[in-house]
Amino acid sequence: MTMDPVDQVVADWARQRPDLDASPIAIFGRVRRIADLAADGLRGFLVPHGLTPASFDILCNLRRAGPPYRKTPSELAASALVTSGALTGRLDALARDGLIRRREHPADRRVSYAELTPAGRKLIDRVLEGHLDREEALLAGLDPADREDVERALALLERAVRKAGPTA
């Protein structure tokens, strides 16, 4: 069996620093590589639709909210994959593109909402279908039991990393 690049890194460290256990690289190196591959694929998939991963995430976030497909910027920042600082610019761009509209709260002018427009909903429904088809194709080499094992292992890893905390 040939070594993949992650196996090679672990083997190199074992030769160069046999006093260290480089085995965590086998997990975290693969997680990073998978995340990078998935992110690159997502970016490439979204370009023809005029979207970025951040704008896609905002549109998905609003669509998942259900009718009337709206959230406050604070709610979006709490559950989106963008920082609150980047959120305003993203919302402005989506509004310029006619995919969302800004709404003020009827009783409290300090509260505003981002809301999907019909065009935004139509686009995100279409793009999401293609995105899920693409991700399903990426997982096609795994049988259902393997998929469950991977999902369970990744959930365990995430819990362990969260439990260890940011300073670990």
Residue 110 pLDDT: 77
Q: What is the pTM of this model?
A: 0.83
Q: Is residue 54 part of a domain?
A: yes
Q: Is residue 168 part of a domain?
A: no
Residue 60 pLDDT: 96
Number of domains in the chain: 1
Q: Is residue 16 part of a domain?
A: no
Q: Is residue 3 part of a domain?
A: no
Q: Which residue has the tokens 């672990």?
A: 10
Q: How far apart are CA 114 and CA 102, in angstroms?
A: 5
Q: Is residue 113 part of a domain?
A: yes
Q: Is residue 74 part of a domain?
A: yes
Q: Which residue has the higher pLDDT, 74 or 10?
A: 10
Residue 92 pLDDT: 92
Q: What is the pLDDT of residues 47-87, one digit of tens each?
A: 999 999 989 999 999 999 999 999 988 889 888 766 677 78
State mean pLDDT over 85-107.
88
Residue 168 pLDDT: 61
What whole-number percentage of the chain has pLDDT above 70?
Answer: 96
Q: How far apart are CA 37 and CA 161, in angstroms?
A: 21
Helical spans, DSSP H, in 97-117? none
Residue 107 pLDDT: 77
- In this predicted structure, the answer to whether residue 43 has a pLDDT above a threshold of 90 is yes
Q: Is residue 7 part of a domain?
A: no
Q: Is residue 101 part of a domain?
A: yes
Q: What is the pLDDT of residues 137-168, one digit of tens each?
A: 999 999 999 999 999 999 999 999 999 987 76
Residue 86 pLDDT: 76
Look up the CATH number of the domain holding residue 43.
1.10.10.10
Of the candidate ranges 12-16, 83-87, 103-107, 150-154, the one whose mean pLDDT is the lowest? 83-87
- Please list, in sequence order, all residues whose beta carbon lies within 8 angstroms of the beta carbon of residue 52, skipping any fewer than 6 positions away: 43, 46
Residue 81 pLDDT: 61
Domain residues for the domain of 58 are: 21-162
Of the candidates 38, 84, 79, 32, the residue with the CA atom closest to the CA atom of residue 57: 79
